[in-house]
A = this chain, B = another copy of it.
Amino acid sequence: MSGEKSLKVALLGCGTVGAQVARILIEDGGALAARSGASLELTGIAVRNLEAKRDVQLDAKLFTLDAEALIDSADVVIELLGGMEPAGAYIERALARGASVITGNKALIAARGAALNAVAASTGAQLRYEAAVAGAIPILRPIADSLAGDHINKVMGIVNGTTNFILDAMDSTGAAFDDVLAEAQALGYAEADPTADVGGLDAAAKAAILASLAFHTTVSSDQVHTEGITEVSAADVTAAAAAGYVIKLLAIAEKLEAGISVRVYPSLIKRDHPLASVRGAFNAVFVEAENAGDLMFYGAGAGGNPTASAVMGDVVAVARQLSAGAPLPHGSADSAAQLIDFSAISTRYWIGLTVFDEPGVLARIAAIFGEHGVSIESMNQQAALGDGPAALRILTHRGTEAALASTVAALKALDAVDTVLSVMRVEGN
């Protein structure tokens, strides 16, 4: 194309994803220009240590330690440093001077997305972050754009590859959490410090972003009820499998009459639910919309190339808009999120107990559920081993978290109950 616009692109960070983004920008210039109507010139890559970049097949002259100077001469800034600072300050600096920003920084967007969007709106810059949720899967744009003429009622996703890898391996091998985690670390599917993943914090950031976009509001990570998978036992997984369920860590954003609920926890879902078949480190997001009905988006949730694909989709979108010359109107949040207290959320529960096998014990346990307004769907007693306590798994109909909590407290106080092994929710219809 002759006479096309040329855009200066600054890259911040050159890790697994950044190196792939740099490669694509350099190798694929022609196709990117044809797609976006603008030629994209990678003007530099800001890194924290020039020595560390020797193994990357890129021109050494591209690297710089001066991120701010690079930002100040760019039309488009791609932030792939991760973490809160200096990433946040860099993004704000770019947006404030009218440069558009693409980032995959879920923690930052979940914490400060609304403030950064406001800066972008004030200068007409664009801020895009498709890579922040579910890696390569196009999910934020379908929610924000394709479903813009519909009403989303619920988003429920497997958005953390590490925990799905662990739960899937526990399901298929029967192994214990600690053993599978060690294996996942050896294979590179889990980090040396896996807290953010197995504790559900990574999924919570993604849940906050999904909720904000799906419901046109602002939800931050600290508003998400978050439970991780560290307490999920091999016995839970096996008993769930026997009952026709699989345990997945779900990020759920739901619009209810009283407001919005955003939560992350390990949950049982039926084996025939589309999310149940998501294996290994893959991600998938299930969306229920008023008119569209049930939709699912599936793909790789992490990795250098998949995440780079999402970043580059955003780069082309930004470049198209810049080459058209007029920014799209900035969508604004309709209002502050009306978040429902977690205790008011109602789901089905699956409770594992060990009980002393004495006459009338089942009746007494059933009575406790009834007294707290929680109705039992099924009770499954496994044979007691010798004289020890027998294992009992109880599936309930819908009840509130508050009712469930008081039921569990009463069960624990019952003499006939040895231990409450696990309390888990059941999602999906």
Q: What is the bound-complex CA distance between A141 and B316, given in angstroms?
A: 13
In the bound complex, residues from chain B placing their C-beta under 8 Å from that of A39 are none
Per the 8 Å Cβ criterion, residues 273-303 of A in contact with B are 274, 277, 289-300, 303
Given contacts A34-B334, A141-B142, contact A150 B329 (CB under 8 A): no
Asked whether, in the complex, the Cβ of A309 is within 8 Å of the Cβ of B329, the reply is no
Instruction: Report the interface size for chain A: residues with CB under 8 A from the other chain.
Output: 62
Given contacts A142-B138, A148-B316, contact A310 B324 (CB under 8 A): no
Shortest CB–CB separation between residue A102 and chain B, in angstroms? 10
Asked whether, in the complex, the Cβ of A312 is within 8 Å of the Cβ of B31, the reply is no
Q: What is the bound-complex CA distance between A180 and B150, given in angstroms?
A: 34
Given contacts A146-B310, A148-B35, A274-B298, contact A305 B326 (CB under 8 A): no
Asked whether, in the complex, the Cβ of B316 is within 8 Å of the Cβ of A321, the reply is no
Asked whether, in the complex, the Cβ of A299 is within 8 Å of the Cβ of B291, the reply is no
Asked whether, in the complex, the Cβ of B300 is within 8 Å of the Cβ of A293, the reply is yes
Asked whether, in the complex, the Cβ of A313 is within 8 Å of the Cβ of B141, the reply is no
Asked whether, in the complex, the Cβ of B293 is within 8 Å of the Cβ of A305, the reply is yes
Per the 8 Å Cβ criterion, residues 57-78 of A in contact with B are none
In the bound complex, residues from chain B placing their C-beta under 8 Å from that of A141 are 141-142, 145-146
Task: Check A50 for interface membership: any CB of B closer than 8 A.
Answer: no
Shortest CB–CB separation between residue A189 and chain B, in angstroms? 15
Asked whether, in the complex, the Cβ of A149 is within 8 Å of the Cβ of B35, the reply is yes
How many copies altogether? 2
Chain B residue at smallest Cβ distance from A284? B296
Shortest CB–CB separation between residue A56 and chain B, in angstroms? 17
In the bound complex, residues from chain B placing their C-beta under 8 Å from that of A274 are 277, 298
Bitwise interface map of A from 146 to 165 toward B, beta carbon under 8 Å scored 1, else 0: 11111100000000000000
Task: Check A130 for interface membership: any CB of B closer than 8 A.
Answer: yes
Task: Check A7 for interface membership: any CB of B closer than 8 A.
Answer: no
Chain B residue at smallest Cβ distance from A333? B34
Task: Check A216 for interface membership: any CB of B closer than 8 A.
Answer: yes
Task: Check A328 for interface membership: any CB of B closer than 8 A.
Answer: yes
Shortest CB–CB separation between residue A298 and chain B, in angstroms? 4
Shortest CB–CB separation between residue A72 and chain B, in angstroms? 25
Task: Check A36 for interface membership: any CB of B closer than 8 A.
Answer: yes
Asked whether, in the complex, the Cβ of B317 is within 8 Å of the Cβ of A145, the reply is yes
Q: What is the bound-complex CA distance between A20 and B150, given in angstroms?
A: 12
Task: Check A323 for interface membership: any CB of B closer than 8 A.
Answer: yes
Q: What is the bound-complex CA distance between A292 and B31, given in angstroms?
A: 16
Chain B residue at smallest Cβ distance from A38? B329
Task: Check A86 for interface membership: any CB of B closer than 8 A.
Answer: no
Shortest CB–CB separation between residue A357 and chain B, in angstroms? 40
Q: What is the bound-complex CA distance between A36 and B329, given in angstroms?
A: 8
Chain B residue at smallest Cβ distance from A279? B272
Known: A24-B149, A149-B313, A320-B328. 19 other contacts (CB 8 A): A34-B334, A35-B149, A37-B329, A136-B291, A138-B138, A138-B145, A138-B146, A148-B313, A148-B317, A149-B311, A150-B312, A290-B309, A291-B305, A293-B299, A293-B306, A296-B297, A296-B299, A321-B328, A324-B329
